[in-house]
Amino acid sequence: DTEVTQTPKHLVMGMTNKKSLKCEQHMGHRAMYWYKQKAKKPPELMFVYSYEKLSINESVPSRFSPECPNSSLLNLHLHALQPEDSALYLCASSPQGTGGAFFGQGTRLTVV
């Protein structure tokens, strides 16, 4: 299994809603990431988890809250988002060491 699975694929939410994005991998990777990608732009790193501990937070607003329940799962909890948060949210995982990151298909988020 060489996949990173993200759910849902599409999400529309209001500015007062609370929702969660989910990510799962079964490759035994101990590093997992959340990226945000706007149209026609490269992915921007949001968070890095290493061995289930948050190791990098790229100054992301607190309305985004990551969670790593175990080594296979990564969640991104969303609350009180703004329309400008609409984007493709990508999850990725990588082995420790020299490997490249494997990306999921992303969740297309629209905030209305």
Partner 1 sequence: AQSVTQLDSQVPVFEEAPVELRCNYSSSVSVYLFWYVQYPNQGLQLLLKYLSGSTLVKGINGFEAEFNKSQTSFHLRKPSVHISDTAEYFCAVREVNQGGKLIFGQGTELSVKP
Residues found near partner 1 in the complex (CB under 8 A): 4, 6, 31, 33, 40-43, 45, 48, 50, 55-56, 90, 92, 94, 98, 100-106, 108
Question: Bridge-partner residues for 37, per DSSP?
Answer: 88
Two tokens, residue 33: 């990431």
CB atoms < 10 A from the CB of 95, how many? Answer: 14
Residue number, 4 or 78, with CB nearest to partner 1:
4
Minimum gap (Å) between residue 16 Cβ and partner 1? 28
Minimum gap (Å) between residue 33 Cβ and partner 1? 7
Find, among 15, 9, 1, 3, the residue nearest to 80 by Cα.
15
Residue number, 27 or 80, with CB nearest to partner 1:
27
Two tokens, residue 94: 């990588």
Residue number, 16 or 40, with CB nearest to partner 1:
40
Yes or no: say if 56 and 45 are a contact pair by the CB < 8 Å rule: yes
